[in-house]
Structure 1
Amino acid sequence: MSALPRGVTQVLWKNKTKTKEKQVKFRVRVNKKVNGIPFKIDQLCDTLEEAKDLLATCQSNIGRQTLNKIELEQNEKAKKIADILTSPPISFYIKKYIAENIPEMQDDLKKRNRASKLSFFKTIGNTAIPDRHNEIAQPLLNAGGLLAQMAQNTISNSGKKRFADFKPEQITYMEINDYIKARLSTPAVSRYGTNLGRNVSKISVSRELSFIKKLFDNLRHQENRFKGIPNPVTEYDKDLLKNRDPKNDYRLSDEDKEILFNALDKHPNPEMKQICLLSYYCGFRRSEIVPLTWEQVRLNENYIQLYQTKSGRPRKVIITKQAREILESIPRKENQPRLFTYTLYGFSGSFDKFNERIGMKDKGFHFHFFRREAISNLVFNIGQATGMDGSNFSILISELLGIENVRHLEKNHLAELPTNTLNSQIDIMKSVGHNNKQTTKRYSPIKIPTKN
């Protein structure tokens, strides 16, 4: 073999094979200064030709600049990889939290709940907020005064990144404040992707914060280094979400009930009316009534046994007279354990379209309002039976309707009801929100006699 060029040496390289054969390789070593700038390379090549080409590259100015750039990029990449491995971004812990706490399920209700939670985390992760840890801006922020204001303007205008790309230790109450501001300025869209003509509400942002809070509460159980890290959600500026959007106080008027129930009578699928009325009379949630099975219906014992509820605890639902009539009218199909053929997603989509078509959606009505009406009727019924204010039975009502938070029931439902004794028919009609006796007779579980 001819003499090797200066800077190239032949070496024997051990293969990681069972035969342990040695392979001939060629090492290119260059370590010198060019115009005062250090240049160093130490690399193995498979063939002598590759080694000569690399050496020639090292001997040219353009080649050295290119190699230096490649080396710098590789070093930078190696640093970033090492940084990620030692201190991953919050997206890593979000995925870990989902895997451990929100596993995939086959059940329709649990699949729906999981999809909702995943949607929250997706929104949280994709929200862009100012990067206060920007390498350029950080020293200026620390300096304070005018320099800090200049840095803040720079960050606000351009230095943003996704919430998911921040490291947990970088997320403080300041990042949470930025997150709130970013979300409140974001246009709200429906589940179908249509613009709702308004920005995201404070109530929605508050729900998102509850997910971030749970995530940070869980961090201390994932790694020891997070044991003392404060939860940033507990320290955010409360004024940002002050005077949250008022809850929807809409109640079905006589006119709205005429529209709604007449439309249900004409709906081509009788299951739509059956599901809505059972919720109206018994207070079922959509996720409780749609997947109902015949095994759960105990007509002889006058109750329906629910196993999967929002609170996670089973409960019994008392069957009213009107609900019994509906249940007895539903035909039992052979080899079909469920009462209805709708899936949870299918019913949700069908009801939303139905609600929009009859103009009730624009008034603020949605399926959960059937449950609100049932609560009001139940409070009234108990008050009638006992001669006392129905709101005094909040614990009993919460058990019957599966409401976990009694204070929430009292604040959002019972506080709005009349507290005076119901001594007259007029008082009764006012209590259930009716203007005429015929509407009360038709739609309320309480049957009030009418004059011919």
Structure 2
Amino acid sequence: MPTITHRPTNAESKRWQAKIRRKGFPSQTQSFATKADAEAWARKIEAEYDKGHTIDQRDARELILGDALRRYLREVTPLHKGAATESYRIKQLLKHPICQYSLANLTRTAVTAYRDHRVKSVSGSTARKEMQIMALVVDHACRDWGVYLAENPLRKVRLPKENKSRERRLNPGEESRLLIECQAARAPYLLHAVIVAIETGMRQSEMLGLTWERIDFNKRVARLPETKNGEGRAVPLTHRACAALQAMRNVRLYAWTQHCTEGPFSWVDATVIRHAFMRARDKAGMRDLRFHDLRHEATSRLFEKGLNTMEVASITGHKTLSMLRRYSHLSMDHLLAKLD
């Protein structure tokens, strides 16, 4: 039975207190202006307890989505492999008004409005990934922070469609123009990073995490103990890739006082290298080229050299053949040469 008590206080508007205690459920207390309101609230909670579940949503009402994102960014994101990318996306999310909702007030309607507004300014893939991150944060709050929600509204709203897979390759003459601008860039590592990307097909994160002890120049192989798909792999190095990596031993960034002793690019921040690449590619007249397109270029070249799908997968680390299929677009000149 609920306990209803009259408590004379300075706050004349809330003098009646209802308290509910039941074994197996958390105690709940709420104050009301009238006894009738207190009794009505108590009957509602008791009825819901009778159904066998707790509906104390105080934490969900008090926890703002923006605060949940910040806590997740501080406590959980650093534990993830893609921490840098996830951190960037969360910081972008925090700029949006949806972060002002409490979790209890984050309805399907609010999420749908966010989705429809967001796809007007960013790609469907970007909006999709942001919604997936928000869904993970809400799930984590319910699972690990003790926040109660009847449902995660972000799991009930249709996600935007993924963008069509990019098929950007280097056209004749573009590689030389790009490398000229990379060599002229203020970033002394950029030329070597671009060459390694084109020659090996490694992801940018894999290149930045590469250490000297994992590179065997005699056997011409770089060993990646842990990659995006959760598995390690060995990447064969061409003579050109080896030369570029060796050249990094003598590179010194003007703002740093130590050589890159841990790894070729371990001292380079992902955001810094991305912006340096963007400046170089713009000067080369290739504004639509992205650093990740170099991985597509490298993978396509492997197919053009005659390697089969399994051989290419072992080098690039693609886990499924369906993921690799979109990288196997051979140049028309190469196909014509085979047909002649």
- Equivalent pairs, count: 288
> In the alignment, residue 175 of structure 1 is paired with which amino acid?
A
The answer to whether the 8 Å contact 2:135/2:152 transfers is yes
Q: CA deviation at 1:330?
A: 4.8
What is the aligned partner in structure 2 of residue 175 from structure 1? 110
Of 279, 282, 290 in structure 2, the residue corresponding to residue 366 of structure 1 is: 290
Determine the structure 1 residue equivalent to 2:122.
200
407, 412, 431: which one pairs with 2:322? 407
The one-letter amino acid paired with 1:272 is L
SS of residue in 1 equivalent to 2:192: helix
Change (3 A) 1:171 1:379: same
Distance change >3 Å, CA 359–CA 167, structure 1 → 2:
same
Shift of 1:311: 3.0
After superposition, the Cα gap between the structure-2 partners of 1:271 and 1:237, relative to the gap in structure 1 and judged at 3 Å, is closer
TM-aligned CA distance change 1:235 to 1:405, over 3 Å: farther
Letter of the structure 2 residue corresponding to residue 180 of structure 1: R
Q: Does 1:338 align with 2:263?
A: yes
- CA offset at residue 295 of structure 1? 1.2
Question: Match of 1:89?
Answer: 63
Q: Tell me if the contact between 2:168 and 2:296 (Cα under 8 Å) persists in the aligned partners.
A: no
CA distance in 2 between partners of 1:249 and 1:307 (Å): 28
Structure 2 SS opposite 1:326: helix
Unaligned runs of 5+ in 1: 1-40, 44-69, 129-161, 186-198, 384-389, 431-452
Structure 1 residues 329 and 175: CA distance shift in structure 2, 3 A: closer
Partner of 1:248: 166
Kept after mapping to 2: 8 A contact 1:127/1:183: no
Which residue is 1:279 aligned to? 197
Higher strand share: 1
Equivalence for 1:149: none
| Distance (whole Å) between structure 1 residues aligned to residue 266 and residue 191 of structure 2 | 13
Evaluate the alpha carbon distance shift between residue 367 and residue 418 of structure 1 in structure 2; reply closer, same or farther with a 3 A threshold. Answer: closer
Q: Deviations over 1:423-452 (max 9, x none)?
A: x7x239x9xxxxxxxxxxxxxxxxxxxxxx
Q: 1:308 Cα deviation (Å)?
A: 5.0
Query: CA 1:117/1:324 → structure 2, altered by over 3 Å: closer, same or farther?
Result: closer
What is residue 120 of structure 1 aligned with on the other side? Answer: 89
Q: Is structure 2 residue 270 aligned with structure 1 residue 347?
A: no
Q: Report the aligned-residue RMSD.
A: 3.9
SS at match of 2:69: helix
Query: Counterpart of 2:85 in structure 1: which amino acid?
Result: S
Q: Kindly tell me: are residues 218 and 370 of structure 1, through their superposed partners in 2, closer, same or farther at Cα, counting changes over 3 Å?
A: same
Query: Normalising by structure 2, what TM-score?
Result: 0.68
Task: Identify if the C-alpha distance between structure 1 residues 99 and 298 changes in structure 2 by more than 3 Å, giving closer, same or farther.
Answer: same
Alignment partner, residue 65 of structure 1: none
Alignment of 1:359-398 (within 5 A): 359-361=285-287, 364-383=288-307, 390=308, 393=309, 395-398=310-313
The SS at the match of 2:227 is coil
* 1:103 partner SS: helix
Q: Give 1:291 deviation, angstroms.
A: 4.7
SS in 1 for 2:193: helix
What are the within-5 Å matches in structure 2 for residues 12-411 of structure 1?
Answer: 85=59, 87-91=61-65, 92-103=67-78, 113-128=82-97, 162-168=98-104, 170-185=105-120, 199-222=121-144, 226=148, 229-237=150-158, 241-242=160-161, 244-267=162-185, 270-331=188-249, 336-340=261-265, 343-344=268-269, 345-361=271-287, 364-383=288-307, 390=308, 393=309, 395-410=310-325
Structure 1 CA distance for aligned equivalents of residues 59 and 134 of structure 2: 22
Write the deviation string for residues 46-77 of structure 1: whole angstroms up to 9, x where unpaired: xxxxxxxxxxxxxxxxxxxxxxxx8669x9xx
Query: Any conservation in 2 of the 1:294–1:338 contact (CA below 8 Å)?
Result: yes
Q: Secondary structure at the match of 2:279?
A: helix
Q: Which runs of structure 2 are paired with 1:400-439 in the superposition (5 Å)?
A: 400-410=315-325, 412-414=326-328, 416-417=329-330, 426-427=337-338
Q: TM-score, normalised by structure 1?
A: 0.53
| Greater RCO (CA < 8 Å, at least 6 residues apart) | 2
List runs of 5+ in structure 2 lacking aligned partners.
Answer: 1-7, 17-29, 32-55, 252-258
Q: Is the 8 A contact 2:222 2:234 kept in 1?
A: yes
CA pair 268-171 structure 1, distance change in 2 beyond 3 A:
closer
Contact 1:283 1:370 in 2 (8 A): yes
Q: 2:240 and 2:92 mapped to 1: Cα distance?
A: 42
Q: Give the whole-Å Cα distance in 1 for the aligned partners of 2:158 and 2:249.
A: 56
**Cα 1:179–1:341, aligned 2, differ >3 Å: closer, same or farther?**
closer
